[in-house]
Amino acid sequence: MADNDAEKLNQAIKLTQKLRSNVTKVFTDLSDGFHNTQGNEKKLLGELQKYLLAVHKLADYASLILSQNALKRTQQFTGPGHSVKRQRRLPPIAHNYPASSVDSLINMLDRYWPDMSITISRPMGNCAVLQITLAKTLRALVVLRGLLIEYVTVKAYNEDFLSEDGKIEIWSKSRYQVFQKVSDLVTAGTLHFYHPQIPDTSLRSFLLWFNSYKTLFSAPCQKCGKHLQGSLPPVWRDTRSAAPQHEGCRQ
């Protein structure tokens, strides 16, 4: 939405709120009036008239702004020869992204980073499950609803996500403390990359950030310069710079 439109819509919302409070005032005054202002009908009527005028004015403003907006939208999408096509081109809602679009995006992203492989499957029906192998450092499993990340778990490179009968085991955790910690922090990190309006960019930005975990055991902490804090390497990656940090060194 253009800034101008957002501004107008915002204005309309504010006016509607003001309108609502004026309408409330009219009704409060009306009911109070019957009880408290007996014998002073003239004053009551004057007040009532004032608020009703305000209500009319605000209603006019709000409807004007909203109709301008509706008009624009109508022109935009039902212009000659465009109606159906334009509507089809609207971006789908993030959690409702068509499976075929998710597949092609993931196939593209799989080729994006030479040290990170991403495979997609749908063992639970609609939700896509991504299995990621990052260098020889770790593996991750990501559950997507549409393009929205619903769940992430990270394990060691020598672990897998398969149950004894060879099926994908989504909820199993790593047996290593370091990867349990990384799982928790990466899950927290997904919130930073949560932008439902631009779900494909969100997912790509998340994966770019996640890619920086390939140096989990080789990069020192950007803050203290050391490799280990307690028994753990820098398990956090800054969401802007992707710089490695110990959990205790995070700001």
Cβ-based nearer residue to Zn ion, 4 or 251? 251
Nearest residue to Zn ion by CB is 221
Closest approach of Zn ion to the CB of residue 242, in Å: 15
| Residues 132, 116: Cα–Cα separation, whole Å | 7
Pick between residue 29 and residue 247 the one whose CB is nearest to Zn ion.
247
Q: Count of CB atoms within 10 A of residue 66's CB?
A: 16
- The 8 Å CB, 24+ separation contacts for 243-250 are 244/212, 244/215, 244/216, 244/219, 244/220, 245/221, 246/221, 247/181, 247/185, 249/221, 249/222, 249/223, 249/224
Residue placing its CB nearer to Zn ion in the complex, 214 or 227: 227
CB of 222 to Zn ion, least distance (A): 8
- Interface residue list for Zn ion (CB under 5 A): 221, 223-224, 246, 249
Q: How far is the CB of 229 from Zn ion (least distance, A)?
A: 5
Q: Say if residues 204 and 109 touch (Cβ distance below 8 Å).
A: yes
Q: How far is the CB of 224 from Zn ion (least distance, A)?
A: 3
Show the beta-strand stretches assigned E in the chain.
Answer: 116-121, 128-134, 138-145, 148-156, 236-237, 244-245
The residue among 152 and 221 lying less far from Zn ion, judged by its C-beta, is 221
Q: How far is the CB of 225 from Zn ion (least distance, A)?
A: 7
Enumerate residues 6+ apart whose C-beta is below 8 A from 11: 65
8 Å CB contact between 132 and 159: no
Q: Nearest distance from residue 240's CB to Zn ion, in Å?
A: 17
110 vs 247, which CB is nearer to Zn ion? 247
Measured from the CB atom, the residue of 51 and 236 that comes closer to Zn ion is: 236
